[in-house]
Amino acid sequence: MMSQITKLEESRRRFRKRMSRLSVACVFTLLALSLPFAFGSPGFRKPKPAPPLGEILRQMNDRAKSLETVSANIEYTKVTVVVNDKSTEYGELYFEKNNTQILLNFQKPEPKMILFRKNRAEIYLPKINQIQEYNLEKQSGLVEQFLLLGFGKETGELEKSYTIKLNGEEVLEGDTTAILELTPRKENISAQLTKVQLWISEESWIPVQQKFFEAGGDYLITRYTAVKTNRKLPPSTFQNPFPKDAKRVKMG
């Protein structure tokens, strides 16, 4: 009986020893397989480094020269810091560069249309069927700062108005973006904005997100999705977007 127990124990020790050698062999095999990846084999893909600021601005500049129209879904989120209030509007943007025409068509939470054309702004409120007219001749520059920043404006002009620095990269909904921080150089802009952040797509080289920091601490975030560029927009997009029977009111 003791002889059988001794043989069984001896068999178990030999089995454990073989398993130990097998485990060690497995570990070394795994290490050997992983070494080519660790040392940069062709199958290992290192993260692509962010392009330098100069290259980003060059790509944006080239894109601005060829940009003619933009259409996109938009999401505007306004945050009022003092009262911790956040409100979001959803709609569509249509932009024509040559004539500097912009149409914002909001559907939620309340329908509203805003048309910027030349030095005028018109706001259509469907609930009361009213068009409010504004003269923006003295503020026309600010319209471009708030709505067109990063769209169609050559970077040389951008650098005249802002100090620009690169704040790294971020992936937004699968799109790798370069984050630019713009600090206004001009007093008429800095009175409204302390800084602006732009998330520039490294594929299209136009903004997919903007964040405007106001002087009082509040901020506005604009998101652009389903962006289409250089698509021919029908003239009626900007010329006749409102009902003919809407009442027009001139605002101060």
Model pLDDT for residues 78-98, shown as the tens digit of each residue: 999 888 899 999 999 999 988
* Pairing mode, strands 130-135 and 247-250: parallel
> What does the pLDDT look like over 178-216, one tens digit per residue?
999 999 998 878 888 899 999 999 999 999 999 999 988
Residue 32 has a pLDDT of 31
| Burial 113-123, CB ≥16 within 10 A → b, else e | bbbbbeeebbb
More confident residue, 41 or 176: 176
- Taking residues 6-27, what's their average pLDDT? 44
Instruction: Classify the phi-psi angles of 74: left when phi > 0, otherwise alpha if psi is within -120 to 50, otherwise beta.
Output: beta
pLDDT band at 14 (very low <50, low <70, confident <90, very high): low
